[in-house]
Amino acid sequence: MQTAKQDIIQQLQKEVLSMQRLKKVSGSILNTGLWEVEKAFPDQTFPVGAVHEFISNAKEDAAATNGFMAGLINKLMKKGTAVWVSSKRTLFPPALKIFGIEPERIIFIDLWLQKDVLWAIEEALKCDAVSAVIGELSELSFTESRRLQLAVEQSRVTGFIHRYNPKSENITACVSRWKIKPLASDISGIPGTGFPRWNVQLLKVRNGKPGTWQIEWSAGQFKHVTRQTYSLTEIQKRKAG
């Protein structure tokens, strides 16, 4: 009886996911190496073919966010091409190599106007030949994010929107919202700086459980440092949905 019930629940969950077009596409399971983080997502897999939102407020956070994103993109693009749309870009291409990305495989589109950035992101997301699209902008309204979501539902491209210093952290149609902050690196006993280490905060995730993790990038892989699960209050949980 009990197992039958669970089966029904699982079946229904899958149906809900497919209705939300978050169904796993066969063969596109992303091996991010973020075992703990992946548990937060529906179906225990990192959603590809969706738009993820990252928010950063300080320059240091922005660099950490781009680093974390670069790690994810590396897993995503393998041998493909990614498009990086931004206004006022400070990203230094050679550093991408540290995160396993061949910098020449990234096509940068540098624009001035917010409107143009959004248009270019949408066009790039519609093109199913690119592996990932990264958009750096500050404001993203709900309607705009909905457009991006509709674009990826057709093309199955994964989008990353990095919002630097937004005026308000408004609701968007993105599948998740992240905040990445740098953490002090740790190399005990040896002087000097260590591997990049971040506090990865998953604030919102559709049909998943938000959480916070500490992650390090070393030897071309993500690594969990220590697991810290915050028990979220009921209000936060509701917000996340």
Partner 1 sequence: MRRYVAIWFRHLKTDWMVRRQPELKDVPFVMAAPEHGRMVIRAANTAAQAKGIDVSMVVADCRAILPGLQVFDDKPELTEKALSALAGWCLRYTPVVAVDNLDGLILDVSGCPHLWGGEKPYLKEIITKLRGFGYDVRTAIADTIGTAWAVSRYGKITPMVEHSYQLEAMLPLPPAALRLEAPILERLEKLGLYQIQSFINMPRKALRRRFGQTILTRLDQALGQEYEVINPIQPVEPYQERLPSLEPIRTATGIEIALKQLLEKLTARLNKEEKGLRKCMFKCYRIDGIVQQIEIGTSRPSRNVAHLFKLFELKIVSIAPALGIEVFTLEATIVEDISAQQDALWDFTEGGNGTAIGELLDRIAGKLGADTIHRYLPDEHYWPERSVKAASTLAEKPQTRWRTDLPRPIHLLRNPETIEVTVPMPDYPPMLFRYKGELHNVSKADGPERIEQEWWLNQGLYRDYYCIEDEKGARYWLFREGSYEHGDPKWFIHGFFA
Question: Which residues of this chain interact with partner 1, rule CB under 8 A?
Answer: 58-60, 62-64, 66-68, 70, 79-81, 83, 90-99, 102-111, 116, 119-120, 123-124, 127-130, 181-185, 191-194, 196-198, 217
Rg of the chain (C-alpha set): 18
Cβ closest to partner 1, residue 15 vs residue 60: 60
| Shortest spacing between CB 114 and partner 1, in angstroms | 13
Question: What CA–CA distances, in Å, run from 120 to 34, 65, 115, 130?
Answer: 30, 21, 9, 13
| Shortest spacing between CB 163 and partner 1, in angstroms | 16
CA distance 73 to 87: 20
Cβ closest to partner 1, residue 106 vs residue 175: 106
Q: Is 164 helix (H, G, I), strand (E, B) or coil?
A: strand
Cβ closest to partner 1, residue 13 vs residue 90: 90
CA distance 84 to 92: 12
| Shortest spacing between CB 66 and partner 1, in angstroms | 5
CA-angle at 233, arms to 230 and 236, nearest 5° = 100
Cβ closest to partner 1, residue 178 vs residue 208: 178
Cβ closest to partner 1, residue 62 vs residue 240: 62
| Shortest spacing between CB 195 and partner 1, in angstroms | 10
Parallel/antiparallel/unpaired status of strands 132-137 and 211-218: unpaired
CA distance 31 to 37: 12
| Shortest spacing between CB 97 and partner 1, in angstroms | 4
